[in-house]
A and B are shown apart, each in its own frame.
Chain A
Amino acid sequence: MDDLQFRRGIYADPKTTDADILTAMQEDPSKQKFAQELESLDDKILNALNVSVPEDLSEKLILRQSLASHQQQKKRSRVKLAIAASVAFVLGLTFNSLQFSNAYTNVGDYAIAHVNHEAEYFTNTTEAHVTLTALNKKMTSFNGSFSQSLGELMMADYCRFDGMKSLHLVFKGESSPVNVFVIPNSDHLEFTRSFQSNELRGSAKNFNKSHIIVVGDKTESLQKWQERIAKNVRWSA
């Protein structure tokens, strides 16, 4: 091994374990001396590089990490809470929409269902006892009134008409009671002018802010009822 190669090797790494360099060192005392010089230079360099480390650095590092991971945990639990809240919210919405969803798509279907449901409470022989004044008092919440009595009125009351506030009137008819509904205009029920089931027929008419629906049996002239209503009803707004 020539001297230059040896020196390069030692300069690059004084603690080398390279076999060629080690044998060369053993054979030549001057090389050995040179290697020792370099090793002592390295000791000096190491001494110089060994700057003092701040005493509390390791404590600081551990503290900062535990603060950071604590914050991360807090953030994580906040995320969990948010997820739980969202799930509860969606469950609530689903429950609500199942509970209060509209099973009927048009006014006719609902009117017939409503009449059938309450049919047992009314017969054509029930005594009529509702006066025009009482009826008009109830009509005020629809901003309407009737100028004359439409017929023998057995019952007049507010009813839920597929979730909407409506006025349900039951008149004495030819052979069975005639039901008249006053309902506000709605978005979710389709307006149908006329409709029927096996026993019942219905007719609906649109006034400015309300619909009036008449449901009676097939012997009843709905046309006559609607004309009488249209002639007598007054809308104030």
Chain B
Amino acid sequence: MATKQVRYEALVKALHGDLYRYAYWLCHEKQVAEDLVQETFLRAWRALDSLKDEKAAKSWLITILRRENARRFERKRFEMSEYEEATITDTRSTSTEQEIENHWLREKISSMPEEYREPLILQVLGGFSGEEIASMLSLNKNTVMTRLFRARNQLKDALDEEPKKRGQYNG
């Protein structure tokens, strides 16, 4: 019992940040992301004995979280709404160049089709390889690599056009 508790707390401390960010990019709402993470860890606690390999913990947790997220839509189909840009904006005043760019990039990432965004987040934020992402999303590796290519391509194109836009934005 005690060791299970220790394992759980270690898991929470090491991975709750990654899980929260991943949840946030899945649902775009801070509160929902927090709820998702809570639900995920609660399920993880119940099934903790089935986690044999600590190295697989992150992908295991993300799999639980994706399932929880899917369940959220089954439960509340009627509440499903289009993502609103306003909800993702950082409310703190964006002052530095870096923050403006972050803010702008976040909007771009949020408005990207989910099928491109999810592999990108898993790769950049989660540090997973193409094979790992493929098995987590139940896709084949070539599909994952193509989506990653398109995701970055979109962002790069957008960024290359950005300076003009940014002038207007600030102007």
A60 to B31, alpha carbons, bound, how many Å?
13
Interface centre among A42, A48, A50, by most chain B C-beta atoms within 10 angstroms, is A48
A133 to B148, alpha carbons, bound, how many Å?
111
Distance between A56 CB and nearest chain B CB, rounded to angstroms? 10
Partner of B20, one of A45, A54, A68: A54
Known A-B contacts A13-B123, A58-B16; A48 and B38 likewise in contact (beta carbons under 8 Å): no
Distance between B65 CB and nearest chain A CB, rounded to angstroms? 13
A53 to B13, alpha carbons, bound, how many Å?
12
A48 to B125, alpha carbons, bound, how many Å?
10
Contact yes or no, B12 A51, CB < 8 A? no
CB-defined contacts of A58 to chain B, threshold 8 Å: 12-13, 16
Contact yes or no, A54 B34, CB < 8 A? yes
Task: Tell me the A29-47 residues at the B interface (CB within 8 Å).
Answer: 37-38, 41-42, 44-47
Stretch at the interface among B52-60, B75-83, B97-105: B97-105
Contact yes or no, B37 A57, CB < 8 A? yes
Residue of A nearest to B17 (CB): A53
Stretch at the interface among B66-74, B150-158, B163-171: B150-158
The 0/1 profile, CB within 8 Å of A marked 1, for residues 5-37 of chain B is 100110011001100110011000010001001
Distance between A83 CB and nearest chain B CB, rounded to angstroms? 21
CB-defined contacts of B13 to chain A, threshold 8 Å: 58
Distance between A2 CB and nearest chain B CB, rounded to angstroms? 15
Contact yes or no, A41 B155, CB < 8 A? yes
Contact yes or no, B145 A12, CB < 8 A? yes
A50 to B121, alpha carbons, bound, how many Å?
10
A37 to B45, alpha carbons, bound, how many Å?
42
Q: Is A11 positioned at the interface, with any CB of B under 8 Å from its CB?
A: yes
Known A-B contacts A11-B148, A13-B145; A53 and B21 likewise in contact (beta carbons under 8 Å): yes
Q: Is A117 positioned at the interface, with any CB of B under 8 Å from its CB?
A: no
Q: Is A65 positioned at the interface, with any CB of B under 8 Å from its CB?
A: yes
CB-defined contacts of B123 to chain A, threshold 8 Å: 13
Residue of B nearest to A38 (CB): B152
Partner of B159, one of A41, A65, A68, A69: A41
Q: Is B109 positioned at the interface, with any CB of A under 8 Å from its CB?
A: yes
Q: Is A1 positioned at the interface, with any CB of B under 8 Å from its CB?
A: no
Contact yes or no, A61 B152, CB < 8 A? no
Contact yes or no, B38 A64, CB < 8 A? yes
Partner of B12, one of A13, A38, A61: A61
A178 to B130, alpha carbons, bound, how many Å?
104
Known A-B contacts A50-B21, A53-B16, A68-B45; A41 and B152 likewise in contact (beta carbons under 8 Å): yes
Extra contacts besides A65-B8, A65-B12, A68-B45 (12): CB < 8 Å: A12-B130, A12-B146, A41-B155, A45-B120, A45-B152, A47-B102, A48-B101, A49-B21, A49-B125, A54-B30, A58-B16, A61-B41
> Would you mind naming 8 contact pairs between A and B with Cβ atoms under 8 Å apart?
A8-B149, A41-B155, A44-B102, A46-B124, A48-B105, A61-B16, A65-B8, A65-B12
- A-B pairs, top 9 by smallest CB distance, nearest first, are A48-B105, A11-B149, A12-B145, A12-B148, A12-B149, A53-B17, A11-B152, A48-B102, A53-B20
